[in-house]
Structure 1
Amino acid sequence: MFTYAKKRLVSADVESAARLWDTQSSAFKLSAAQIHRIERAIALQLAFNKSELAYARFNQLTKLDATTRLWAVRAALIEHNWRRTGAPGNPSPKGKKETERWRYWQAKALLETNQREKGLAIFKQLANERSYYGFLAADFLQQDYALGNKPIQLNEQDKSRLLSRQKFAVVSEFKALEMEKEAQQFWWEAVRNLKGDDLLSAAKIAQQWHWHRLAILTVSRAKYWDDVALRFSIEKPPSKKVVLINPLEKIAALLEGRLCYPNYFYRTN
């Protein structure tokens, strides 16, 4: 019961819990396992809170498991204890993003401990990645980002073949009639069963039509991430010129059926 209550206090106010534990722990008859669980919880919570007291607490633990060893290194980073950060035997986390972050800070630790060549070697490898830490490494090396841009190639033959399909013909008709909402809604029916290169071609067609949101969502179905311009478009669609209509001309246009609601206040050229 005491162990449970103590762990609850650690979560709520870890620094108060640590002070209480330091002064009162000897008053309780606890097993070595119970003591370790409480001290482990205090060390981890201090690290979660990015407290500068965390690393000293990890040093007090009688043994470290994979989790506490990992967080001990992170605690060392908090206080810029570079030698502890890059110590041999420190575990590297799994997962690409975690590994890149680990390599970045490992390189920083090596640079801060007069191991410049080793640190720069890691940065040079990391700078080849199109990722947050890859870009940070490139900034440090003062070199261009490795965007790895590989645009989807769409030739006219593939484009014509795809647009000749019945469902794409419907999309094209809606688009020709300036019924953009209907065209974009039917787009998903047109691409529903596409796979591989056809899906990539469809994404490129959407990009050419300035349907950037649909292009991004379509290419994501193909899990193709290397067309950077398509995925992060900054191009604006061409704007239509709006011309206000004279009231008498508006009435005449309505009577002749040349203008219909809701566009009766303006026409587009």
Structure 2
Amino acid sequence: MKFTQILTLVGALAMTGLWGPHAHAQVQSPNKADDVILEMQQAFKKGDKNRLSTLLPQTRGHVLEPLAAYWEMRTRLDSAPESEIRGFLSSYAGSYYEDRLRNDWLLQLGKRRDWATFTAEYPRYRMRDDREVRCYALATEAMNSKANVAEEAKRLWYALREADDGCTYVAEHLHSGKQINGLDLWRKARLAMDANRPRPAKAAVDIEAPRLSEQVALIHADPEQYLDKRIIAITRSRKELAVLALIRLAANQPDKAAELLEKRWSIQLSAEERNWTWGVIGKQAAWKLQDNAASYFAKVQKDSDLNDELLGWKVRAALRMGQWRQVLSATQAMSPESQKDPAWVYWRARALTATAQDNAQKLEAQSLLRSIASVRGFYEQLALEELGQSITLPERPLALTPQEKAAALINPGLQRAMYAIQMGLRPEGNREWNYSTNLHTPGGMNDRELLAAADLACQRQVWDRCINTSDRTKDAIDFDQRFPMPLREIVVRRAGDIKLDPAYVYGLIRQESRFVMDARSHVGASGLMQVMPATAKWTAKKIGMTQFTPDQITDREVNVAIGTGYLKLVLDDFEGSMPLATAAYNAGPSRSRNWRNGPVLEAAIWAENIPFQETRDYVKKVLSNTTNYAAILTRQPQSLKARLGSIGPRNSPVAEVNKDLP
């Protein structure tokens, strides 16, 4: 399309209200077609097929007609004739909703074992992000070409926390064809039991030892009693059931599991079974921040018998005890994919530096650090500082051209996504936006196109799409997009009034809500700073907000005032430690207090040992965000390490703890 044609289309869009400074208000203004779409959303949630069919004709010509048509067809997909399904796919060819319905149809075809139709349709499926669909596809590949798909099938199956038909089916098929063996199946059962998921554990055992699978429920309910009753494990299956029981016992009593393994079961298990079980015991002890976790991992005689998750916990336990050689050996044993993770690259480099016996190892450490060093994230920033560099603003990319902006504007998927978001259908809009910007779809976006899409979202103040889209550029980094500062006057003023670093406030908001003003979590936290109702009420009293009522928490100024007030109280309670305060903001002050007890650690090691993955990631991201926001606000070089400091028990034994801090 020529630029003059783009400008003509932009003008037409402006006339319809989809573009221009008042687009947000116009899209949100009530109109009959929008009301019909919203009514269809409710009917879809209820599975009301008749209501959806009645309302659909009223959406003809609406920008969200493909969404409305998808809702109507989706509720009838199990009974609709194939010709009608293909008619939908043809009518909305190239759109997200064509691919969304094909995804749903492929799942049904797989469940029906209609492999001929599945095989014909799968090559047209563009998203390729549904694990169960991929498992069905692997089964057809194995059937049709006898291809060896075992490694990918295991990876997908192992990653699922609950049993599904597709991945269980391909596991059964590959087992019958001897492409996966008994150990592969038992490892799935071990992973499921470790994750407290007895159903998928039973499903895995059903394939290998169907007569014994009922015992999985007994093991899950009372592993210690199971172990007491079965003293001798003479068959492979009996040994593996004992491993499942030890894994289950370790979840609550790692020391008890270690005692039983050492005194009773070790001699009966194979070397691989012992190594895995010691790895799980070590992981559970590390999760509880026990000092003996590293000693349990030391009993693992072959690191390659452990998976990446267990090796990750071995690294954490070794870091906590300053055992750099164990850090090195565990990171070296990880899969090639995990070895590329910036966290393990960084700690491997640190371990090499700490244990280097020659110049070659020091040079290897420097090379590893250089491979990840950037402003992109927590470990990337730490790598920069290990190399003696500060964290500074990256050079801004060349300004977007009018042509690049206009191309984003006329993208049909982005148009629909933005319209959906701005009329209150945020989940639906987010999904289509992500699809439209995804590199794996036809016409997937390069860096410049992603920057243009992010710019479109920024201009509409849809900050979460702005940030997430800009975050995906590989070479061009636009900090103004990645780290926007909405409500700057309010945030900076409120932070200044209570002597709180505004960069810290922005770093936290970016992680909490992505600046979505009406964000609400599944546990009831609200607004920019995701404040819980009880916390808001408590904080309002503490900061002298006498007229506060719960409905005010969604007001921007009130939410910022209460959020910053609470953050300041938490920060003061933790003696100014940003890592501790950040963990407390996410997981609660009592947990953060407990996690600080133990050896004095550099905060990066302490953060890596936080038991909850959500909080562990949250702390890293908030502090990384904070460092970048500080670079923007001050225009001066910054240090993440300076913000981290070290962490250990409270400095002063007489320092008061704010016991009622929620």
TM-score (ref. length: structure 1): 0.57
Q: Which residue of 2 aligns with 1:134?
A: 380
Q: Could you tell me whether the CA contact under 8 Å between 1:42 and 1:57 is conserved in 2? A: yes
1:87 deviates by 4.3
Change (3 A) 1:56 1:228: same
Residues 1-269 of structure 1 mapped to structure 2, 5 A cutoff: 1-2=226-227, 3=242, 4-22=244-262, 24-25=263-264, 31-33=268-270, 37=273, 40-50=276-286, 51-61=290-300, 63-67=302-306, 70=311, 72-87=314-329, 90-95=332-337, 99-114=341-356, 117-118=362-363, 119-128=365-374, 130-145=376-391, 150-151=396-397, 153-156=399-402, 184-185=422-423, 196=445, 200-201=451-452, 203-207=454-458, 209=459, 211-213=461-463, 216=466, 220=469, 223-224=472-473, 226-236=477-487
1:143 deviates by 1.4
Q: Could you tell me whether the CA contact under 8 Å between 2:258 and 2:281 is conserved in 1? A: no
Which residue type is aligned with residue 107 of structure 1? A
1:148 deviates by 5.2
Q: Residue 211 of structure 1 aligns to a residue in which SS?
A: coil
Q: Could you tell me whether the CA contact under 8 Å between 1:52 and 1:79 is conserved in 2? A: yes
Percent identity over paired residues: 22
Change (3 A) 1:152 1:18: same
Q: Could you tell me whether the CA contact under 8 Å between 2:318 and 2:327 is conserved in 1? A: yes
Distance across 1 between alignment mates of 2:471 and 2:349? 35
Change (3 A) 1:102 1:158: closer
Q: Could you tell me whether the CA contact under 8 Å between 1:126 and 1:134 is conserved in 2? A: yes
Distance across 2 between alignment mates of 1:136 and 1:87? 21
Q: Size of the alignment, in residue pairs? A: 218
Change (3 A) 1:30 1:113: closer
Q: Aligned Cα RMSD in Å?
A: 4.8
Q: Residue 350 of structure 2 aligns to a residue in which SS?
A: helix
Which residue type is aligned with residue 366 of structure 2? L
Q: Which residue of 2 aligns with 1:174?
A: none
Distance across 2 between alignment mates of 1:37 and 1:135? 39
Q: Could you tell me whether the CA contact under 8 Å between 2:247 and 2:281 is conserved in 1? A: no
Q: Which residue of 2 aligns with 1:247?
A: none
1:17 deviates by 2.3
Distance across 2 between alignment mates of 1:36 and 1:158? 56
Q: Could you tell me whether the CA contact under 8 Å between 1:10 and 1:45 is conserved in 2? A: yes
Q: Could you tell me whether the CA contact under 8 Å between 2:254 and 2:281 is conserved in 1? A: yes
Q: Which residue of 2 aligns with 1:259?
A: none
Distance across 1 between alignment mates of 2:319 and 2:279? 15
Distance across 2 between alignment mates of 1:52 and 1:10? 16
Distance across 2 between alignment mates of 1:193 and 1:109? 42
5+ residue gaps, structure 1: 171-180, 240-269
Distance across 1 between alignment mates of 2:406 and 2:275? 68
Distance across 2 between alignment mates of 1:61 and 1:161? 57
Q: Could you tell me whether the CA contact under 8 Å between 2:450 and 2:472 is conserved in 1? A: no
5+ residue gaps, structure 2: 1-225, 228-241, 438-442, 491-662
Distance across 2 between alignment mates of 1:182 and 1:32? 57
Q: Could you tell me whether the CA contact under 8 Å between 1:66 and 1:91 is conserved in 2? A: no
Q: Could you tell me whether the CA contact under 8 Å between 1:216 and 1:231 is conserved in 2? A: yes
Q: Could you tell me whether the CA contact under 8 Å between 2:297 and 2:314 is conserved in 1? A: yes
Distance across 2 between alignment mates of 1:229 and 1:97? 31
TM-score (ref. length: structure 2): 0.27
Q: Could you tell me whether the CA contact under 8 Å between 1:152 and 1:200 is conserved in 2? A: no
Q: Whose Rg is larger?
A: 1
Distance across 2 between alignment mates of 1:142 and 1:75? 27
Q: Which residue of 1 aligns with 2:44?
A: none
Q: Could you tell me whether the CA contact under 8 Å between 1:73 and 1:90 is conserved in 2? A: no
Q: Could you tell me whether the CA contact under 8 Å between 2:266 and 2:274 is conserved in 1? A: no
Which residue type is aligned with residue 145 of structure 1? I
Change (3 A) 1:17 1:134: same
Distance across 2 between alignment mates of 1:18 and 1:183? 52
Q: Could you tell me whether the CA contact under 8 Å between 1:100 and 1:133 is conserved in 2? A: yes
Change (3 A) 1:67 1:214: closer
Larger mean CA deviation between 48-57 and 99-108 belongs to 48-57
Change (3 A) 1:41 1:233: same
1:79 deviates by 1.8
Q: Residue 306 of structure 2 aligns to a residue in which SS?
A: helix
Q: Could you tell me whether the CA contact under 8 Å between 2:318 and 2:324 is conserved in 1? A: yes
